[in-house]
Structure 1
Amino acid sequence: MKRVAILGGGYAGMAAAVELADAGLRVAVLEAGKVLGGRARKVPLDGRALDNGQHLVIGGYRDLLAMMQRVGVDPDTAYLRTPLDLAVQPDFHLRCPAWPAPWHLAAGLARVKGLSWGERWALTRAVLGAQRARWVLPTDCSVAAWLHLERQPTRLIDCFWRPLTVAALNTPLELASAQVLFNVLRDSLGGARDASDLLFPKVDFSALFPEAAAAYVERHGGSIWLGQTVKQLARTGERWRVNDDATAFDGVVCALPPHRLGMALHRDLAEELGVDVAALESWDYQPIVTLYLEYHRAALPQPMVGLSGGLVQWVFDHGHTHDVPNRIAVVLSARGAHSELPREVLERAVAIELDRAFGWGQPDWCRLIAEKRATFACVPGLSRPANATRAPTLWLAGDYTVGDYPATLEGAVQSGRKAARGIIVALQT
């Protein structure tokens, strides 16, 4: 039985591992961390199973949902699913009814609350215009530049386009790729009725898929190695060796984060494979900061509510999803004014904004989790590497590889599956 090493136990690596295990290959996953999930993982803290972010999933993420089912995780149990419902304080509210497409979108736009007639028409005109263009721009540009061309009012940008863009692409609106935003809108608003549904995880990110995938791989004869930092990858003839281990592998899926590829692919090997490690390390990477707060009493009318005009972007209520009443998660995506504040100052500022918006007072408990390089900056014209390298038995996997989506769980799973299929073909020839 041929052996394949998976370097990295995030969503891309575990998706590749499942695909390879199903093909009858013996898989070994090497993950540097103590838990699986990579940049979407469980973070045990103060006796609580928290996450290093709040990754919202949409119904159009078919590959992720299918892969979860494949390893025995029922999406209907793991997620709270709601029709598209975007509420942004103080008064914006876009909700699509459970009608057949495209009438659900038309009804949502017609009924949107908190906008003047002029702002409502501007939003409808921009969305329907993009839909008529089949969600393709003649030339990619920043979202800010596209909004200027579409004559979108400032207030509409602040209450809808800005929070939507930063949530979808984790990149400031002034830098974010309009075409990639179009790709997300195409597969959500422009897709089937349920494609725009919002899916809120009810379990931690590691349990959502990676841990079940690990159990699946082990049942198929594979192995999972935690706490294994990949420091060197070497080619010996037609086979591969990881670190100083004597085990030889017939194939490798490198599912490390892009800024860490240089740990495994030293300069000569990277040049041989045609992988520009220096370019990937020079990319701009964007952070995600999550603050968890617990109150004596705190609740939202729905699982997620946005705030505009301050530091806070999106607020999640774990009473709706995790059966933990009075626990709130606040997400600050991408680089912004909050990035320059000391931790204690940021925590106080967020608590004040929440109190002003919802009247919750001061929290009884607060913790901050920062993922400094959560995603690559999704900018126009970014040249993303292919999964394939010049070596047919070594493939790259990760949400950063070439594809339609920004750095998402769906993009990671799609990339992992593609890399695995490439390895399978190479080992069969």
Structure 2
Amino acid sequence: MWLHSKINKPSKKTIAVVGGGWAGAAAVAELVFAGHQVDWYEASRQLGGRARAVEVEGKMLDNGQHILLGAYRECLNLLKRLGIEQNDSFLRLPLQMVYPNGTGMHFIAPKLPAPLHLAFALLKAHGLNNEDKFALARFSTTARWMDWQLNVDCSVSELLNRYQQTPRLIEFMWRPLCIAALNTLPEHASAQVFLAILRDSLGAKRSASDMLLPKTDLSRLLPDACARLLQENGGRVFLGARIDHLEQHPSFWRIRSNTSTMIPEVNYDALILATPAETSRRLLASMSGIQTPAALSPPIEYSFENSLEASLEKSTEQFKSDTGLFDIPQFEYEAICTCYLQYSSELRLARPFFALRDDPSVQAFGQFVFDRGQLHSDHAGLLAVVVSAPQQEFELPHAELSKLIARQLANDFKMPALENPLWSRIITEKRATFRCTPNLKRPQQTTAYAHLFLAGDYTHSDYPATLETTVRSGVTAARLASS
């Protein structure tokens, strides 16, 4: 059920949230719950950001298939506060890593208290020999003893080698888990961030390791629900509203657009930039004044050259740091491809999803396949294959990549008919996540400007760029803006 009741709290502040993705949605909901007056701005004509719905062949599909974890506390708590029932919105499955027809391992955690669920899953796992099982048990025990912390960060590959994980265990469990969680190859991925995910899933109660597959599209799941909540409580949503400038005044903020005429003249007590890192960096660069931590300063009109003339001893780097232009670093990004393949409506896999053995040397690129028909009645016969952190396959034409993925499915499932789908579609998010490398510096959510806050999966967190990180950042930014 949806939450339709109004929030019975007096309005405290007038706050603008810029960015219509999950970070902006979480910030909007938290602000409305706190009783603030909120305006929500999105440059595109649709809410959702990089986790949104798209229409394909008459079906509403996600721009990429997602899995949430039971450990995603902020995500699940926000959905609960919005009145969204978990059972209606997700298919909840125990932790598992199952490959089709003996092409890899078969690991499913039973419904037992932690850590017995992992012990029994390991005992009954197929496709792993005793050496593999002992190595996995040793790694889990050592990680718990270390409290899932490293003194010095390193790559996931280095961590696994350090603790003598077997090649088979790395290939069929650790590598796919790392790519799925961080969207970064193990040789490049941060071991500390990977351990944080394992801590909150494998190292917590059994339900924390459960896998939640959305039954509805991601736009409907959160952003649309937050927009309804906002509008029911007197707030406004502006779509197609690209923000180009932020204006700083003695006691308030204003936002400006070069192209949109719908931006109202409103004095905002606080701003939340829930936009991608590059957009937030551009908006910070549009600032015309320097912010002191305690209060809003009067706007100071100056160009970069004028500031140097006024203070010759300041270096370029120091100037930009003072004005917040270096608050957000330049990130490297990884793409995610999702290949949708439609077959006869009678097609049904034995499980809602399988892991796939990817091997670019034989042009097998798919890493996970999802049977959408087991999630949504209108998606019978539709499979979604995910390719995370793509390398050479990213350069292939879509028709060729779809054909290779269909052939991989036919071979792995030993079902020749899978090589000939009725139709296929590749959806690629070129900047799906930042590359989560060791010791990566991520910006704090506070900025050099009072009452101006950042939200997004790139902000400071011990988690990678997940939906949980995104929601956490939005909630945190809203609480900062409320204080």
Using the size of structure 2 for normalisation, the TM-score is 0.85
Which residue of the partner structure matches residue 299 of structure 1?
Answer: 348
Over the aligned positions, Cα root-mean-square deviation in angstroms equals: 1.7
Residue correspondence of structure 1 range 99-138 to structure 2 within 5 A: 99-138=112-151
Which residue of the partner structure matches residue 365 of structure 2?
Answer: 311
Residue 46 (structure 1) shift: 2.4
1:332 to 359, 365, 387: 387
Which residue of the partner structure matches residue 283 of structure 1?
Answer: 331
Letter in 2 for 1:319: G
Aligned equivalents of 2:52, 2:126: Cα separation in 1? 36
Which residue of the partner structure matches residue 48 of structure 1?
Answer: 59
1:196-247 alpha-carbon deviations (Å, 9 max, x no partner): 0110000000111111111111111111111111222111222111115422
Aligned equivalents of 2:450, 2:433: Cα separation in 1? 27
SS in 2 for 1:282: coil
Q: 1:255 to 1:353 in 2, by over 3 A?
A: same
Which residue of the partner structure matches residue 183 of structure 1?
Answer: 196
Q: Is the 8 A contact 2:244 2:286 kept in 1?
A: no
Q: Which runs of 5+ in 1 are unaligned?
A: none
Aligned equivalents of 2:80, 2:203: Cα separation in 1? 25
Please say if 1:141 is aligned against 2:154.
yes
Q: Which moved more, 1:83-92 or 1:166-175?
A: 83-92
Residue 259 (structure 1) shift: 2.2
SS in 2 for 1:68: helix
Q: 1:108 to 1:300 in 2, by over 3 A?
A: same
1:147-176 alpha-carbon deviations (Å, 9 max, x no partner): 111222222211111111000001111111
1:378-403 alpha-carbon deviations (Å, 9 max, x no partner): 11100111111132311101111111
Please say if 1:376 is aligned against 2:430.
no
Q: Is the 8 A contact 1:311 1:337 kept in 2?
A: no
Number of residues paired by the alignment? 425
Which residue of the partner structure matches residue 216 of structure 1?
Answer: 229
Which residue of the partner structure matches residue 21 of structure 1?
Answer: 32
2:267 to 226, 243, 248: 248
Please say if 1:321 is aligned against 2:375.
yes
Which residue of the partner structure matches residue 6 of structure 1?
Answer: 17
Residue correspondence of structure 1 range 336-375 to structure 2 within 5 A: 336-358=391-413, 359=415, 360-375=418-433
Q: Which moved more, 1:259-268 or 1:62-71?
A: 259-268
Residue 363 (structure 1) shift: 0.5
Aligned equivalents of 1:414, 1:176: Cα separation in 2? 22
Letter in 1 for 2:376: H
Aligned equivalents of 1:287, 1:85: Cα separation in 2? 25
Residue 270 (structure 1) shift: 9.2
Letter in 2 for 1:304: F
Q: 1:328 to 1:402 in 2, by over 3 A?
A: same
Residue 335 (structure 1) shift: 3.1
Q: Is the 8 A contact 2:355 2:368 kept in 1?
A: yes
Larger Rg: 2
Which residue of the partner structure matches residue 59 of structure 1?
Answer: 70
Letter in 1 for 2:282: M
Q: Is the 8 A contact 1:171 1:335 kept in 2?
A: no
Identity %: 41
Q: Is the 8 A contact 1:88 1:160 kept in 2?
A: no
Letter in 1 for 2:152: T
Q: Is the 8 A contact 1:144 1:173 kept in 2?
A: yes
SS in 1 for 2:201: coil
Letter in 2 for 1:315: V
Which residue of the partner structure matches residue 263 of structure 1?
Answer: 282
Q: 1:363 to 1:94 in 2, by over 3 A?
A: same
Q: Is the 8 A contact 1:172 1:335 kept in 2?
A: no
Aligned equivalents of 1:414, 1:345: Cα separation in 2? 39
Which residue of the partner structure matches residue 184 of structure 2?
Answer: 171
Q: Which moved more, 1:147-156 or 1:374-383?
A: 147-156
Aligned equivalents of 1:277, 1:94: Cα separation in 2? 48
Residue 143 (structure 1) shift: 0.4
Aligned equivalents of 1:79, 1:423: Cα separation in 2? 31
Q: 1:242 to 1:279 in 2, by over 3 A?
A: closer
Please say if 1:203 is aligned against 2:257.
no
Letter in 2 for 1:378: C
Aligned equivalents of 1:205, 1:125: Cα separation in 2? 38
